Amino acid sequence: MDAALVGCGFIGTLIAKHISTGEIPLRLRYVLDRNPEKVERVQALFDKAPAAAESLDEIADSDVKLVIEAASIEAVHSFAKPILSTGKDMMIMSVGAFATPGVYKTVEEICLRSGAQVYLPSGAVGGLDAVSAASVGRLEFVEQRTIKHPRSLEGAPYIENNKINLEGLKEAREIFSGTAIEAITGFPANVNVAVTLGLAGIGVMETQVKIIADPSASRNIHEIRAKGDFGELTFRTENLPAPDNPSTSLLAALSAVAMLKKITSPIKIG
C-alpha cells in the first residue's frame, strides 16, 4: 500500500523508521513538513527516499491510498476533508481536531460518500477497547485524570489565559477540571487522548477530565475510570515522555506504529 506522511516530528519520524525497516509493510511515497531539515532526516532513513511533497494538494492529487497525519490539529482541519473526499484513507494522530463542533459528523459523511476510512490510534492511554465495548450498553460516567510535570504544561492556552503560575510549584496541584472538549481547547498539545476517550465512550461533552501539575512527576500519568451496566473499570498508564518532546508520551508514538501494523495485517485484534 502506498502512503504519504504529513508531519516529521518525533511521532512521524518513528513511523518512518518502522516503515523503512519493513516492520510496517507500506511504501512511503511522500513526506511533508514545514521544516525541510526534518523532511531530509526522514528521507535519509530510506534506500529509496520518498519525495518531499510541495503541498497537500500534491498528496491529494496523488495515487497513494493512505495519508498518515502526525502534524497538528490545524493541519487536520485544513486537509482532512479534501484528502478524504478523494477516497484516500487517513490515520489521524491529532484527534483533538474532532472536538471542534461539526468535524466528526462532516468527516463521517465524507467517508460514507467516498469510501474512505479514518483510523484513530489509542494514543497514550489503555482501556479504550473496554470503554468502547461498555458504551454498547449504558455508560454512566467516564473520567480521565492526567498528571504531568509543570514543564510539560507550559505554554498551554489555558495556562496562559488564566495566568496560572507553574514556576516554583512545590506540590501537586489540580489546575483544570472540565469536559474533554474544554480540556483539548485549553491543552491542545497535552490531552488528545481525552478526545479519543470521549469518542470511544459517552462523547467529548460528557467525558470528564482533570489535569494535575505535579513537580515530582517523572512520567506522564493517565488514569481512566468508567462506570456503567458492565460494572466499573480503572486503568492507569505511567508513560515515559518522548525523548524529543516532553509533552508527548512515547506510548502515543508506539500506538501509531501499532495501528499501522493493524491496518496492514490480515488479522486484527481488538
Domains of the chain: 2-120+252-264 (3.40.50.720), 128-239 (3.30.360.10)
213 exposed, middle or buried (CB, 10 Å; 0-12, 13-18, 19+)? buried
Reported as a pLDDT band with limits 50, 70 and 90, residue 26 is very high
Distance of CA 101 to the CA centre of its chain: 18
Give me the pLDDT at residue 242, please: 83
Give me the pLDDT at residue 185, please: 95
Question: What is the distance between the alpha carbons of residues 252 and 51, in angstroms, rounded to a whole number?
Answer: 26
Sign of CA dihedral 25, 249, 237, 183: negative
Mean pLDDT of 233-262: 91
pLDDT digits (tens, 9 = 90+) for 158-214: 999 999 999 989 999 999 999 999 999 999 988 999 999 999 999 999 999 999 999
Exposure pattern of 4-42 as b/e (b: 16+ CB <10 Å)?
A: bbbbbbbbbbbbbebbbeeebebebbbbbbeeeebbeeb
Give me the pLDDT at residue 265, please: 95
Known catalytic residues are 222
- Of 185, 184, 187, 177, whose CA–CA distance to 150 is shortest? 187
Give me the pLDDT at residue 168, please: 85
In this structure, the strands spanning 173-179 and 208-213 are: antiparallel
pLDDT digits (tens, 9 = 90+) for 34-62: 999 999 999 999 999 999 999 999 999 99
Reported as a pLDDT band with limits 50, 70 and 90, residue 270 is confident
**68: pLDDT strictly greater than 90:** yes
Mean pLDDT of 126-144: 96
Question: What is the distance between the alpha carbons of residues 153 and 159, in angstroms, rounded to a whole number?
Answer: 8
State the number of CA atoms in the 13 A half-sphere of 222 facing the CB.
29
Question: What is the distance between the alpha carbons of residues 14 and 20, in angstroms, rounded to a whole number?
Answer: 10
pLDDT digits (tens, 9 = 90+) for 74-131: 999 999 999 999 999 999 999 999 999 899 999 999 999 999 999 999 999 999 999 9
pTM comes to 0.92
Question: What is the distance between the alpha carbons of residues 190 and 185, in angstroms, rounded to a whole number?
Answer: 10
